Structure 1
Amino acid sequence: MDNDVYGHVNNVTYYSYFDTAVNGYLLEQGMLDIHGGGIIGLVVETGCQFFSSIAFPDAIEAGFKVAKLGNSSVRYEIGIFKRGESLSAAHGHFVHVYVDKQNRRSVPLPAELRNALEALV
């Protein structure tokens, strides 16, 4: 399903890769409770630049960093690579603003989440 009619990964699929890379890290660090958590990260900005194509079944790798850590927001920058390649096929970013799950008002990043993210700055 990743490939489009032109035989390469469709541009919108990269955003799914970005989301999977970041949320995978947050899950591994115990910082994301999808169903029971009191706060959630809403994506408020995204962008992507494409440099070379990839196509299923290419194996891919993702690398990311925290480019900016605010009071209630985080800007992630993510690279998508064909496995073993040193140059990214695409580079993107997205910004999470953390909000209370019920009222959707922004909240400061909890200390444990901030600590997990500071490791990636």
Structure 2
Amino acid sequence: MNKPVRTTRADYPHFLSISTRWSDNDVYGHVNNVVYYSYFDTVVNEYLLRAGVLDFSEGETIGLVVETRCNFFASVVFPQRIDAGLRIEKLGNTSVRYEVAIFAEDSEEAAAQGHFVHVYVNRVTRRPVPLPAPLVAALKPLVHA
């Protein structure tokens, strides 16, 4: 397997600043690997909420995570501010592949980067449904060319 190419801030159109927390660190003195997935989830859901296309309590359509991956290049630690960069790698008929990178506050290169895939389903039946038009419109500006 080839090691992924480390991305830079210029590769992402949307950012969310996040403060690391004391509980994010592990016994080895850096943010634990599982916490990065929380950062990924946070930047995606923050974007969807602010765009008005995520109603997690009443919406008919919900996104279920079906795939995740993260590659690590450098450690981040508490206390440190990070920036989570977001872009869309693939905007499908019923799914979206979000790509996220975590940057130390003053770094141009990603400390970690990865992706997760949402399959959008009907809240009740849990069967895949076409992406709603407002969601597609909100995500198009983030599509990576």
Give the SS at the match of 2:102: strand
In structure 2, the residue matched to 1:92 is 114
Structure 2 unpaired stretches of 5+: 1-22
- Aligned counterparts of 1:52 and 1:8: Cα–Cα separation in 2: 10
Match of 1:119, SS?
A: helix
Among 49, 67, 72, the residue aligned to 1:50: 72
In 2, distance between residues paired with 1:21 and 1:83? 15
Alignment partner of 2:86 out of 47, 64, 75: 64
CA–CA separation in structure 1 for the residues paired with 2:95 and 2:66: 10
Give matches, 1:11-30, under 5 Å: 11-30=33-52
TM alignment of 1:108-119, pairs within 5 A: 108-119=130-141
- For residues 34 and 41 of structure 1, the distance between their equivalents in structure 2, rounded to whole angstroms, comes to 9
Q: How many residues align?
A: 121
Aligned with 1:74: secondary structure?
strand
Structure 1: 5+ residue runs without aligned partners? none
Shift in Å at residue 68 of structure 1? 0.2
Structure 2 match to 1:8: 30
Asked whether 1:34 is paired with 2:56, we answer yes
* Residue identity opposite 2:67 in structure 1: E
CA displacement 1:60-92 (0-9 Å, x = unmatched) = 001110000000100011000011210010001
SS in 2 for 1:15: helix
Q: CA deviation at 1:56?
A: 1.0
Q: CA RMSD in A?
A: 0.5
How far did residue 107 of structure 1 move?
0.3
Partner residue of 1:76? 98
Secondary structure of the residue that 2:69 maps to in structure 1? strand
Q: TM-score scaled by structure 2?
A: 0.82
